[in-house]
């Protein structure tokens, strides 16, 4: 049995294939970002999924693509967790950016971007990913991501920059007590996921002037820091992965046009494309 997983900070999608690459089952766990989730919790999120733990002895190979897996230390933490559970498996761990590349362009050159709970981008030349700058995560980077917009909404609410009508709706949906926010940000695991949970508010009010302005600002920053510096040809296809890009594609395309660029495609969930890539290219 082979397990293939695409893991963001919020959720991880798993698909099991038999040795003939026929799908056996698919499940979803909570996110498995080893850069922000404690080791014990990483283990719990896997073993609490019945289908995974029930199949653990039959798994021969795991291909896991995840947020937070771009540097060696978090990768080794997650590898150790998985090896303790799937004792018979050969484990391959790569960052979620590579899954996005495989899902979007396969083996063709492209600029590939992630706009989900976090954000990232690369230029893929057909063989190698070229990252202009390493991602430092939700505290310092992640422009136009779910946690970026969640942070903006909370700040605007507290600084009274949010229009009154929108602020009243915001209050109805979230506990905005300062102690609650600080507890979740500084005392609980997954602060990036907590911040991103506020971004879903934007989906309901996407036609509001204030929300559109906030989205445009975030997208302009993403293009400035994450797309324009990439050394790619002007006609290189540009793909986006993730819910932020998917639900606000119209605004994304308008911002792209301002830079004389065109969005080739937007994929909300890359797991199905990723599976097709594995079936075609990986033995």
What is 39-52 written as a DSSP string?
A: HHHHHHHHHTSHHH
Spatial distance between the Cα atoms of 7 and 97, rounded to a whole number of angstroms: 11
Q: What is the CATH number of the domain that holds 64?
A: 3.30.420.40
Domain count, the chain: 1
> Residue 93's domain spans which residues?
2-100+271-281
Residue 67 lies in a domain: yes
What pLDDT, in 10s, does the model give residues 117-168? Answer: 899 999 999 999 998 888 888 889 999 999 999 999 999 999 999 999 999 9
Residue 166 lies in a domain: no
Residue 48 lies in a domain: yes
Residue 6 lies in a domain: yes
CA dist list (Å): 251 to 150, 226, 228, 245 = 18, 17, 17, 9
222 contacts 120 by C-beta, under 8 angstroms: no
- pTM here? 0.88
Residue found under tokens 């766990």: 29
What pLDDT, in 10s, does the model give residues 222-271? Answer: 999 999 999 777 789 999 999 999 999 999 999 999 999 999 999 998 88
Residue 24 lies in a domain: yes
Residue 170 lies in a domain: no
């Amino acid at each position: 049995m082979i397990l293939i997983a695409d893991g963001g900070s919020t959720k991880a999608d798993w698909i099991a294939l038999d040795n003939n690459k026929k799908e056996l089952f698919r499940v979803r766990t909570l996110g498995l970002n080893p850069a922000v989730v404690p080791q014990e919790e990483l283990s719990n999120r896997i073993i609490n999924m019945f289908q995974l733990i029930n199949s653990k002895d039959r798994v021969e190979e795991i291909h896991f693509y995840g947020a937070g897996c771009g540097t060696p230390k978090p990768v080794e933490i997650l590898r150790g967790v998985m090896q303790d559970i799937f004792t018979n498996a050969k484990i391959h761990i790569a960052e979620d950016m590579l899954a996005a590349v495989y899902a979007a362009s396969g083996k063709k050159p492209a600029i590939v971007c992630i706009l989900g709970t976090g954000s990232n981008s690369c230029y893929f030349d057909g063989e190698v990913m070229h990252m202009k700058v390493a991602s430092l995560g939700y505290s310092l980077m992640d422009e136009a991501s779910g946690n970026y917009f969640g942070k903006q909404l909370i700040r605007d609410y507290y600084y009274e920059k949010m229009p009154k009508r929108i602020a009243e709706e915001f209050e109805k949906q979230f506990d905005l007590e300062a102690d609650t926010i600080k507890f979740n940000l500084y005392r609980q695991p997954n602060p990036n996921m907590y911040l991103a949970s506020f971004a879903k508010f934007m989906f309901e009010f996407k036609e509001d002037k204030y929300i559109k302005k906030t989205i445009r600002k975030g997208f302009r920053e993403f293009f400035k820091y994450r797309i324009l510096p990439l050394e790619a040809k002007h006609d290189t296809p540009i793909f986006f992965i993730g819910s932020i890009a998917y639900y606000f594609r119209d605004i994304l395309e308008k911002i792209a046009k301002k830079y004389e660029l065109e969005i080739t495609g937007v994929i909300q969930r890359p797991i199905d494309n990723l599976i097709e890539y594995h079936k075609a290219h990986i033995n």
